[in-house]
Structure 1
Amino acid sequence: MSMERPVAWVGQSSGVHERRTRTRVVTAMNNGLEAALARLAALPAGYSDGLYGGRRYGVTVRASEDGRRRSLYGEELGGRDRVSCNVYRLNGGSLALRPCEMPLGKVVRFLLEFSPLSHLE
Protein backbone atom coordinates (compact mmCIF):
# COMPACT_ATOMS: atom_id res chain seq x y z
CA MET A 1 0.00 0.00 0.00
CA SER A 2 1.70 3.20 -1.10
CA MET A 3 1.59 6.21 1.20
CA GLU A 4 0.05 8.90 -1.03
CA ARG A 5 -1.75 11.84 0.62
CA PRO A 6 -2.67 10.23 3.96
CA VAL A 7 -5.61 11.57 5.93
CA ALA A 8 -7.51 10.54 9.05
CA TRP A 9 -11.24 10.57 9.57
CA VAL A 10 -12.18 11.62 13.06
CA GLY A 11 -15.24 13.03 14.77
CA GLN A 12 -13.39 16.07 15.98
CA SER A 13 -10.00 17.44 15.14
CA SER A 14 -7.53 20.19 15.65
CA GLY A 15 -5.35 21.54 12.90
CA VAL A 16 -5.93 21.72 9.17
CA HIS A 17 -9.13 20.07 7.96
CA GLU A 18 -11.56 20.05 5.10
CA ARG A 19 -15.15 18.83 4.73
CA ARG A 20 -15.96 15.67 2.82
CA THR A 21 -19.45 14.22 3.06
CA ARG A 22 -20.04 15.43 6.62
CA THR A 23 -16.72 14.00 7.85
CA ARG A 24 -13.75 16.07 8.86
CA VAL A 25 -10.54 14.95 7.24
CA VAL A 26 -7.29 15.72 9.05
CA THR A 27 -4.23 16.03 6.85
CA ALA A 28 -0.99 14.18 7.49
CA MET A 29 0.58 17.31 8.95
CA ASN A 30 -0.85 16.40 12.38
CA ASN A 31 0.71 14.11 14.99
CA GLY A 32 3.04 12.03 12.83
CA LEU A 33 0.14 10.54 10.91
CA GLU A 34 2.16 10.06 7.74
CA ALA A 35 4.90 8.19 9.63
CA ALA A 36 2.30 6.07 11.47
CA LEU A 37 0.68 5.05 8.18
CA ALA A 38 4.10 4.15 6.78
CA ARG A 39 4.77 1.98 9.85
CA LEU A 40 1.44 0.19 9.40
CA ALA A 41 2.17 -0.40 5.71
CA ALA A 42 5.54 -1.92 6.67
CA LEU A 43 4.05 -4.43 9.12
CA PRO A 44 3.59 -7.86 7.52
CA ALA A 45 0.09 -9.29 7.22
CA GLY A 46 -0.68 -11.89 9.87
CA TYR A 47 0.14 -12.20 13.55
CA SER A 48 3.28 -10.95 15.30
CA ASP A 49 4.45 -10.19 18.82
CA GLY A 50 6.13 -6.96 19.78
CA LEU A 51 6.75 -4.36 22.44
CA TYR A 52 4.98 -1.09 23.13
CA GLY A 53 5.49 1.00 26.24
CA GLY A 54 7.65 -1.71 27.78
CA ARG A 55 4.82 -4.26 27.50
CA ARG A 56 4.34 -7.17 25.13
CA TYR A 57 1.54 -7.04 22.53
CA GLY A 58 0.09 -9.48 20.04
CA VAL A 59 -0.76 -7.75 16.77
CA THR A 60 -2.77 -9.00 13.80
CA VAL A 61 -2.61 -7.11 10.49
CA ARG A 62 -5.02 -7.93 7.68
CA ALA A 63 -5.05 -6.64 4.12
CA SER A 64 -7.85 -6.93 1.58
CA GLU A 65 -7.19 -8.73 -1.68
CA ASP A 66 -7.67 -5.54 -3.68
CA GLY A 67 -5.20 -3.61 -1.48
CA ARG A 68 -7.73 -0.89 -0.61
CA ARG A 69 -8.15 -1.84 3.05
CA ARG A 70 -5.74 -2.71 5.84
CA SER A 71 -6.61 -3.35 9.48
CA LEU A 72 -4.65 -3.71 12.70
CA TYR A 73 -5.76 -5.21 16.01
CA GLY A 74 -3.29 -5.21 18.90
CA GLU A 75 -3.80 -6.63 22.36
CA GLU A 76 -1.57 -6.36 25.42
CA LEU A 77 -0.60 -9.93 26.30
CA GLY A 78 -1.48 -10.55 29.93
CA GLY A 79 -3.10 -7.11 30.19
CA ARG A 80 -6.20 -5.16 29.27
CA ASP A 81 -5.01 -2.64 26.67
CA ARG A 82 -6.20 -2.85 23.07
CA VAL A 83 -5.57 -0.86 19.89
CA SER A 84 -7.47 -1.20 16.63
CA CYS A 85 -7.76 0.69 13.36
CA ASN A 86 -8.57 0.43 9.67
CA VAL A 87 -6.94 2.19 6.74
CA TYR A 88 -8.89 2.74 3.53
CA ARG A 89 -7.59 3.85 0.13
CA LEU A 90 -10.06 6.43 -1.13
CA ASN A 91 -10.81 7.31 -4.73
CA GLY A 92 -8.12 9.73 -5.78
CA GLY A 93 -5.36 7.94 -3.85
CA SER A 94 -5.83 9.40 -0.36
CA LEU A 95 -5.60 7.15 2.68
CA ALA A 96 -8.14 7.34 5.51
CA LEU A 97 -7.15 6.11 8.98
CA ARG A 98 -10.16 5.12 11.10
CA PRO A 99 -9.45 4.29 14.75
CA CYS A 100 -11.90 1.77 16.22
CA GLU A 101 -13.60 3.12 19.35
CA MET A 102 -10.50 4.98 20.59
CA PRO A 103 -8.76 8.32 20.09
CA LEU A 104 -6.69 8.86 16.94
CA GLY A 105 -3.69 9.84 19.09
CA LYS A 106 -3.63 6.44 20.79
CA VAL A 107 -3.49 4.63 17.43
CA VAL A 108 -0.83 6.96 16.01
CA ARG A 109 1.32 6.63 19.15
CA PHE A 110 1.03 2.83 19.03
CA LEU A 111 1.98 2.65 15.36
CA LEU A 112 4.98 4.93 15.88
CA GLU A 113 6.29 3.16 18.99
CA PHE A 114 5.39 -0.52 18.46
CA SER A 115 8.47 -2.68 17.83
CA PRO A 116 7.88 -6.15 16.39
CA LEU A 117 10.03 -8.71 18.24
CA SER A 118 11.48 -9.99 14.96
CA HIS A 119 13.04 -6.51 14.53
CA LEU A 120 14.49 -6.62 18.06
CA GLU A 121 16.17 -10.04 17.86
Structure 2
Amino acid sequence: MLLNKIKQIPIGYSEVEYLDKKYGVSRTDFNNGKSIKIYAEELGGNNFISLNYYITASSESLKPCEMPEAKVTHFLKHYKLKS
Protein backbone atom coordinates (compact mmCIF):
# COMPACT_ATOMS: atom_id res chain seq x y z
CA MET A 1 0.00 0.00 0.00
CA LEU A 2 2.76 2.49 0.85
CA LEU A 3 4.49 1.96 -2.49
CA ASN A 4 1.20 2.70 -4.30
CA LYS A 5 0.83 5.97 -2.39
CA ILE A 6 4.46 6.88 -3.07
CA LYS A 7 4.05 6.23 -6.79
CA GLN A 8 0.93 8.42 -6.92
CA ILE A 9 3.20 11.40 -6.21
CA PRO A 10 4.50 12.60 -9.58
CA ILE A 11 8.26 12.62 -10.20
CA GLY A 12 9.57 16.16 -9.72
CA TYR A 13 7.67 18.83 -7.79
CA SER A 14 4.00 18.77 -6.89
CA GLU A 15 1.69 20.03 -4.17
CA VAL A 16 -0.44 18.02 -1.77
CA GLU A 17 -2.78 18.72 1.10
CA TYR A 18 -2.06 17.09 4.45
CA LEU A 19 -3.85 17.86 7.73
CA ASP A 20 -5.56 20.84 6.04
CA LYS A 21 -2.22 22.40 5.07
CA LYS A 22 -0.45 22.71 1.73
CA TYR A 23 2.86 20.91 1.21
CA GLY A 24 5.39 21.15 -1.59
CA VAL A 25 6.61 17.65 -2.42
CA SER A 26 9.66 16.54 -4.40
CA ARG A 27 9.95 12.98 -5.65
CA THR A 28 13.15 11.67 -7.18
CA ASP A 29 13.61 8.13 -8.47
CA PHE A 30 17.01 6.43 -8.71
CA ASN A 31 18.25 3.03 -9.94
CA ASN A 32 15.43 2.56 -12.46
CA GLY A 33 12.77 3.22 -9.82
CA LYS A 34 14.26 0.84 -7.23
CA SER A 35 15.11 3.73 -4.91
CA ILE A 36 12.70 6.62 -4.30
CA LYS A 37 13.33 9.82 -2.34
CA ILE A 38 10.40 11.91 -1.08
CA TYR A 39 10.76 15.30 0.61
CA ALA A 40 7.64 17.24 1.60
CA GLU A 41 7.69 20.67 3.21
CA GLU A 42 4.75 22.53 4.71
CA LEU A 43 4.32 25.74 2.71
CA GLY A 44 4.20 28.67 5.11
CA GLY A 45 5.01 26.42 8.06
CA ASN A 46 7.85 24.46 9.58
CA ASN A 47 6.78 20.81 9.28
CA PHE A 48 8.45 18.44 6.83
CA ILE A 49 8.49 14.78 5.83
CA SER A 50 11.56 13.04 4.44
CA LEU A 51 11.96 9.42 3.41
CA ASN A 52 13.67 6.93 1.17
CA TYR A 53 11.99 3.80 -0.15
CA TYR A 54 14.04 0.89 -1.43
CA ILE A 55 12.86 -2.02 -3.57
CA THR A 56 15.00 -5.15 -3.90
CA ALA A 57 14.31 -8.54 -5.44
CA SER A 58 13.35 -9.92 -2.04
CA SER A 59 11.87 -6.98 -0.10
CA GLU A 60 10.74 -3.38 0.14
CA SER A 61 12.01 -1.04 2.83
CA LEU A 62 10.81 2.35 4.11
CA LYS A 63 13.58 4.46 5.63
CA PRO A 64 12.40 7.70 7.27
CA CYS A 65 15.06 10.41 7.47
CA GLU A 66 15.56 11.33 11.13
CA MET A 67 11.90 11.14 12.10
CA PRO A 68 9.55 8.47 13.42
CA GLU A 69 8.26 5.95 10.90
CA ALA A 70 4.72 6.61 12.18
CA LYS A 71 4.95 10.26 11.05
CA VAL A 72 6.02 9.21 7.55
CA THR A 73 3.41 6.48 7.18
CA HIS A 74 0.64 8.81 8.42
CA PHE A 75 1.63 11.36 5.78
CA LEU A 76 1.70 8.73 3.01
CA LYS A 77 -1.70 7.35 4.00
CA HIS A 78 -3.44 10.73 4.33
CA TYR A 79 -2.02 13.23 1.83
CA LYS A 80 -4.24 14.37 -1.04
CA LEU A 81 -2.81 15.47 -4.38
CA LYS A 82 -3.75 19.01 -5.41
CA SER A 83 -5.13 19.45 -8.92
Matches within 5 A, 1:8-87: 35-87=1-53
Q: Where does structure 1 lack aligned partners over 5 or more consecutive residues?
A: 1-34
Q: Which runs of 4+ in 1 moved over 3 A?
A: none
Tell me the amino acid that sits aligned with residue 117 of structure 1.
K
Match of 2:63 in 1: 98
Query: Could you give the per-residue CA deviations for residues 31-74 of structure 1, whole angstroms, max 9, x where no partner exists?
Result: xxxx2221002221010011100001000001014221001000
Equivalent-residue separation in structure 2 for 1:70 and 1:59 (angstroms): 13
| Aligned alpha-carbon RMSD (Å) | 1.1
Instruction: Pick the structure with greater CA Rg.
Output: 1
1:106 CA drift (Å): 0.4
Identity of aligned residues (%): 37
Alignment correspondent of 2:72: 107
Structure 1 or 2: larger strand share? 2
Name the SS of the counterpart of 1:66 in structure 2. Answer: helix
TM-score by length of 2: 0.92
Query: What is the letter of the counterpart of residue 3 of structure 2?
Result: L
Q: TM-score if structure 1 supplies the norm length? A: 0.65
* Alpha-carbon distance, 1:99 to partner: 0.3
